[in-house]
Amino acid sequence: MNSDAFVFFGATGDLAQKKVFPALQALARDGRLDIPVIGFARSPWSDAHFREHAKKSIEQHDTLDPAAFERLARHLHYVRGDYTDPAAFERLAKALGSAKHPLHYLAIAPSRFEMVVRGLHAAGCTEGARVVVEKPFGRDLASARELNATLHASFDESAIFRIDHYLGKEPVQNLLYYRFANSFLEPIWNRNHVASVQITMAEAFGVQGRGAFYDEVGATRDVVQNHLLQVLALLAMDPPVNTGADALRDEKLRLFRAIRPLATDQVVRGQFAGYRNETGVAPNSNVETYVAMRLAIDNWRWAGVPIYIRAGKNLPLTCTEVQVELVRPPQRLFPDDPPHAANTLRFRLSPDVLIAQGARVKAPGEAMAGRDVELIARRAAHEDRLPYERLLGDALRGDAALFTRDDCVEAAWAVVQPALNETAPVEPYEPGTWGPAGAARLIAGGHWHNPHLTPPTPPSA
């Protein structure tokens, strides 16, 4: 069932300017948005002012398509109101007119979800409707449960779409496709052939003026509990019976529940030098700008395989990459080869997209010695569709496959909850390095794979 109206709260905010308006224009360009689009916010604007604001936002953060924007602008309307004012929600109900199945998008702070949902319910705007909420889905396990209870008071779980833009990215979707569209992976995708898995999300920049926000969040809440655990789920979950939303999310849930909750000796927290001087950051802040962890999955497929995850700011480069190391050959036939030589699979998710298989081949010469090479399976530099375009389009159609379910959210929080309770001082590290030295102790007998960026090889003539 397609939604017959789109309402978004926080229509004058930063998220709307950067992500929502460009996505709506893309949907209109593709002919997938021919319904009323109603913005709701406090600013005393008219419909005309709201349309001009949308146009300027697209010009600033994307490329204006005059024909597509004209199609979008015909559907744009504005409702002014405070989230605590019942009369404002009555005006919204009137603006919805004959719409029976609106999609309400809460592009607002989670602290305001409850009052907006209550207002929608009181005005009769929740019956037959869907709701989209932005991450973070709580700050910990307890608050995630409270948030779910708030949403369930007015919406069935099937009508709740928890949006994480990371799941809408083409490279992340390619992980799912690559795993289950190719038969050669399945025989080796288990504890018998995989020695370890590393997932790295490195950012070469700091908090970029968002010190007050980041000091309330930290790296674990910001990217590990959501983005990187979702990447791990796509890598490690069992095959779903189909690509339907429930089948995919059932397998993710089984995977999350199999991950052993973190112990304090499996986590290293770091903070880059100078973080406490950032505007909005407490002078004695113990918030991590870097986190590394070793996870264990207690199921038949992955028992005994260490999973390493790390994320940090002010690292040497910006890159998200997965490195899967396979078990080494059982016998070292070529003494001149290094003892650590092993095959690998590498998935780069950003800034470009790359899937590569690492292997050993003989080096030229008389000696039976080898060298490492990589076979590149796929390389691309951009996405054809914006993540928000993909996700909002799916929500309008009622396709929940790329959205997170309540039990999956809570299971992911349960994994990292011990790390959130950690009070030991963060370990300092210098900007431009790969984080605190203590992270090395997580990998017994091994080392972190540090991504490196090289320009793509031009195609041969």
**What pLDDT shows up at residue 460?**
44
For 193-207, 219-233, 248-262, 439-453, which range has the lowest pLDDT when averaged over its residues?
439-453
Determine the pLDDT at residue 340: 64
Residue with tokens 């779903």: 240
Which residues is 6 bridged to in the sheet? 37, 103
Instruction: Give me the sheet containing 102-106, strands edge to edge.
Output: 76-80, 37-41, 5-9, 102-106, 130-134, 160-163
Cβ contact 306:239 at 8 Å: no
Give yes or no for residue 350 having a pLDDT over 50: yes
Asked whether residue 457 carries a pLDDT value surpassing 60, the answer given is: no
Quote the pLDDT of residue 347.
94
Q: What is the pLDDT of residue 131?
A: 97
- Burial of residue 44 (CB within 10 Å: 0-12, 13-18, 19+) is exposed
pLDDT of residue 162: 93
pLDDT of residue 458: 47
Asked if pLDDT for residue 49 goes beyond 80, the answer is yes
State which fold the 5-134 domain adopts: Rossmann fold (3.40.50)
| Whether residue 238 has pLDDT greater than 90 | yes
Quick check: helix, strand or coil at residue 428? strand
Active site residue 121: no
pTM above 0.85, yes or no: yes
Higher pLDDT, 135 or 71: 71
Q: Which candidate in 53, 104, 165, 227 is catalytic? A: 227
pLDDT of residue 459: 45
Residue 172 or 379, more confident: 172
Average pLDDT over residues 39-61: 95
Q: In this model, does residue 339 exceed pLDDT 60? A: yes
Stronger pLDDT, 377 or 247, i.e. the higher one: 247
Residue 272 vs residue 458, higher pLDDT: 272
pLDDT in tens, 66-107: 999 999 999 999 999 999 999 999 999 999 999 999 999 998
Amino acid at 130: R
pLDDT of residue 379: 67
Tokens of 12: 């004058």
Q: Is the confidence at residue 455, as pLDDT, over 70?
A: no
Q: Which residues are CB-contacts of 122 (< 8 A; sequence separation ≥ 6)?
A: 86, 89
At the second CATH level, the architecture of 167-442 is 2-Layer Sandwich (3.30)
pLDDT (tens digit, 9 = 90+) per residue, 251-305?
999 999 999 999 989 999 999 999 999 999 999 999 999 999 999 999 999 999 9
pLDDT in tens, 10-44: 999 989 999 999 999 999 999 999 999 999 999 99
pLDDT reported for residue 382: 58
Average pLDDT over residues 182-206: 96
Would you say residue 461 has pLDDT above 60? no
Residue 335: pLDDT over 90: no
The residues with which 79 forms a beta bridge, in sequence order, are 40
Q: Where are the domains of the chain?
A: 5-134, 167-442
| Adjacent-strand bridge partners of 196 | 325
Average pLDDT, the chain: 91
Q: Are 200 and 310 in contact (CB under 8 A)?
A: yes
